[in-house]
Chain A
Amino acid sequence: MAKKGVPLSEMATSDTHGEDSPYFVGWKVYDENPYDAASNPSGVIQMGLAENQVSFDLLEDYLEQHPQEFGWGCGVSSFRENALFQDYHGLKTFTRAVALFMEQIRGGRTQFDPQHIVLTAGATAANELLTFILADPGDGLLIPTPYYPGFDRDLRWRTGVNIIPVHCNSSNGFQITLRALEDACAGAESMKVRVKGLLLTNPSNPLGTAITRPVLEEILDFVAHKGIHLISDEIYSGSVFSSDEFVSMTEIVESGGHQERERVHIVYSLSKDLGLPGYRVGTIYSYNNEVVTTARRMSSFTLVSSQTQKMLASLLSDKEFTENYLRTNRERLKKRYEFVVEGLSNAGIRCLQGNAGLFCWMNLGELLEEPTVEGELSLWNSMLHEAKLNVSPGSSCHCLEAGWFRVCFANMSQQTLEVALMRMKDFTEKMKAKQMISSL
């Protein structure tokens, strides 16, 4: 028999999955030595995973009070149809519930038509699907930096589409500017890459900021002028600390007139706001019928379990519950954020002024040996192995300025967070001392 292995595809053997980046390496180090207050107090604290665990008690309570909702309610026959249900339109009760929930997050300022909702198994799938639909292999998607490191894999790997970074910097709080957009387009042109769309994350990951109305309007004008699509990934929209600080792209679209609707597509998911990443519930909301139809068909590769849809339909339609949940979740995240910022401040660390999300964007520039990617990674490495803190280096997020790091704060208990902040303080003091000594 032939000893040589049967060749695989280029895709299977490429490293576009990006899992060799520090972002993922840190996770592996954590997995091998995870912190536990009781059994492993010197383990690595995971601050690189954007999970929301601050409000799951609310879900638990709901489950306890409404056990029937989580089952099949009225018995065997409803189960039968549910088990067979694999229609990519989704369960009507569920898509309606998702639409309602999305409306609530936006304070009722926009309406969502359930018929324009396409369900996918997670936002990861939604983003990839839209990329397949809007761009051909070799085309480009503009993405403002810094951005979620997973995009490199999710949007490029199977699709063959390129990411064209739109560089933002700290001079204006990393806001997206028209100049940056134009520069990125020019760069694409010179590389003979056809730009097909712009993907925004609003609120931003990793910045933890909601994009302001004027910037959103400028962006919509820009995509309209360029004749490209706009994907607004709003998976953190329910995690804005104060609800009136979030402006959805849907609001801009609806106030702006009909022309631009067809190019706007929203991505949402229950993984962050509702803290249910394991459920794999994502959605695409598009004003464009062609995109909706195509996305729906393509969603055959990534359908949401009918059981899960049934399970969540009542929970999401329960207005009293969702209002309370959203309000409470916002408050708790805000508190956490303030706690973290204060703790970091005590350690002499500044953060970008944030108002959303499960993380903050901190600056350790002063601690770098050299203001370069290498310097940043060296510091990151020290933090990981000495302070036993896994944070995400800005370079993994394609940030051009060295020294920025994303710190997640919602995926752990308050106690663990306190331990983490103490370690951070110790670490920065140590590093500063080292710096002083080496400058002598």
Chain B
Amino acid sequence: MSPTPSKKSADADAAAAAATATQARSSATGLGGGGGGAGMRLIVPLQGVVQGRGGLVLGTLIPCALFYFLQFYLRRNRSPPPTSPQPPAANGPDLPGIVRSSSRNFLSARGSSGHAAVSSRAASIARSGDSPYFVGTKKCSEDPYHPVDNPDGVIQLGLAENRLSLDLIGDWLARNVTNTLLDERQGGLSISGLATYQPFDGLVELKMAVAEFMGQVMQGSVSFDPSQIIMTAGATPAIEILSFCLADAGNAFLVPSPYYPGYDRNIRWRAGIELIPVPCRSTDNFGLSIPALERAYNQAKMRGVKVRAVLFSNPSNPVGNLLHRETLRDLLDFVTEKGIHVIADEVFAGSTHGTEDFVSMAEVLNTDEFDRSRVHIVYGLSKDLSVPGFRIGLIYSFNEHVIAAASKLARFSSVSVPTQHLLISMLNDTKFITQYIKTNRERLRVMYALLVNGLKQLGVESVKSSGGFYCWTDMSKFMKSYSEKGELELWKEMLNVAKIHLTPGTACHCIEPGWFRLCFTTLTEKDVPVVLERIKRVVDNH
């Protein structure tokens, strides 16, 4: 194993981040500054980081924008607010009787561009700038690898799409789609069913079908109640809606890190909730640590920040580990003791490929006497069923008030009805679904093993992952310096020399430099040797 930083320095980093974050936070208007100085560097956005919940361009611009958003935001909060807002461009002669100074106060003149300025919420994000990481995804799209047409192109391993089992879904659709669309007997797909408004939180039939699917996918030890489901246009709005329901702007969530880079956008941007990373250590195989949560909670408390929930992904993105039943119980104890919520992001639950069993938060609740009203699960079909374009996500909550509020908020992010009907048909084809889950898992297992073993031969170790689309690899020994800078340089080398685009750990808020996330689900078996050969180019240089 590569050298790990001493626990002391890791904690010191975290403390430094927290301390600098306090300064930024004190004058923040609730948009969750990520901390200045050293802390800032931990939150370096990179293109392609918004994996699995966005396309290339999405993954590029948002993280870069966030980078500038944070910089801009912190700078703004350090200096006194501008007293004279930028004057609007000449809009015509002064009308008599209008007092110039008073009308100025009520003009939307703050912001970047002259007379049609946007809100400060929007202005900071809009400037995407020339972040160095923009370069990466741009390179992928300009020079994409293709085994035949462009064998020297850039291989994109930063985007979490599961292509391994698309053929199965495609076949099903080819056999069934015309029927499902036109046949009234199969559940009212005639136009009149589609010409009316339907409940924004999803058709009952879909909730029932999805509840069944979840039960199946989470290995059958718990059943899900359709009435606790709120359907949303993807898991992205599900997380945001939950955030709006559980916390006020300026509050915080504790998030074990490394974590999915998309949370930064999904939770901070409009809901204004701060994310406090709670570092997990490679020595613990990046497992969740209750003492670390406890420390982070107390630190937040000391700087006057109200923590409202713990958010974690299971299977974990980016690491791919599964939480044990005991850990889940300990987590429930922790949130109960603190009087806060817990959000379990289980979008990869059906994409397990290891030997361990997946245990859903719902399952733990089933067997134990916990106050359920604090537990909320996020799920969706983008990962497990390979249909991210269809926008099917959901909130599964044990809290009736959250369900009530979320069902109303779903109006802003509702699943398209024809797509709902399509999925109802597909999910109700239990024979197909059972076969699909099984085959998909097998293919994930094979591809994962191929890549991980190949990497091992090159001296690149990965954390043992049991689920998800990623290998979480330790490339620290190939860095010139054991630092974020070293990681960034290695990342660049991977991009320019190996022509592979990976997600660096800092994008996931990993405090140990040198970890990289590789997505293996866009690869075919033939691509693996190519990937390994490319990585070897960089490995051999060190």
Contact = CB atoms under 8 A, between A and B. Distances in A.
A302 B413 contact: yes
A68 to B, nearest CB: 8
B412 A87 contact: no
A196 B119 contact: yes
A88 to B, nearest CB: 6
B185 to A, nearest CB: 16
Interface in B413-467: 413-419, 422
B389 interface: yes
Given A59-B195, A308-B418, A8 B388 contact: no
Interface in A1-19: 1-2, 5-13, 17, 19
Given A80-B170, A89-B57, A302-B237, A188 B106 contact: yes
Contacts of B370: 1
Contacts of B265: 300
Most buried by A among B191, B266, B374, B417: B191
A158 interface: yes
A278 B53 contact: no
A346 to B, nearest CB: 29
B181 A305 contact: no
A124 B412 CA distance: 6
Given A79-B170, A89-B57, A67 B182 contact: yes
A311 to B, nearest CB: 6
B102 A87 contact: no
A158 B103 CA distance: 28
Contact of B108 (A71, A194, A302, A307): A194
Contacts of A8: 245-246, 399, 401-402, 405
Nearest to A55: B195
Interface stretch (B1-9, B89-97, B132-140, B150-158): B89-97
Contacts of A321: none
Nearest to A60: B191
Contacts of B496: none
B178 interface: yes
Given A225-B95, A228-B107, A307-B416, A300 B53 contact: yes
Given A56-B192, A133-B119, A9 B246 contact: yes
Interface string A116-159: 00000110110010001111110100000000000001100110
A372 to B, nearest CB: 30
B236 to A, nearest CB: 6
Query: Chain B interface residue count: which class?
Result: 35 or more
B402 A76 contact: no
Nearest to A1: B371
A303 B173 contact: no
Contacts of B62: 297, 300
Interface in A51-77: 51-53, 56, 59-60, 63-64, 67, 70-72, 75-77
Contacts of B249: 137
Interface in B188-206: 190-198
Interface string A165-202: 00000000000000000000100110001111100000
Interface in B66-114: 88-89, 91-92, 95, 102-103, 105-109, 112-113
A278 B194 contact: yes
B125 A2 contact: no
Interface string A253-293: 00000010011000000010001111111000000101101
A86 interface: yes
A86 B388 contact: yes
A51 B196 contact: yes
B194 A276 contact: yes
B169 A83 contact: yes
A79 B171 CA distance: 10
Contacts of A52: 195
Interface stretch (B18-26, B216-224, B336-344, B474-482): B336-344
Nearest to B50: A300
B10 interface: no
Nearest to A87: B55
A280 B412 CA distance: 10
Contacts of A115: none
A227 B270 CA distance: 25
Interface string B247-259: 1110100000000
B233 A303 contact: yes
Given A53-B195, A121-B416, A297 B386 contact: no
Nearest to B423: A307
B174 interface: yes
A153 B340 CA distance: 28
A51 B195 contact: yes
A153 B341 CA distance: 26
B116 A86 contact: no
12 contacts: A6-B371, A6-B399, A76-B170, A88-B55, A121-B233, A158-B271, A158-B409, A278-B417, A290-B126, A293-B128, A305-B415, A307-B390
Given A157-B409, A263-B116, 6 more contacts: A56-B192, A80-B166, A125-B413, A277-B195, A303-B234, A308-B419
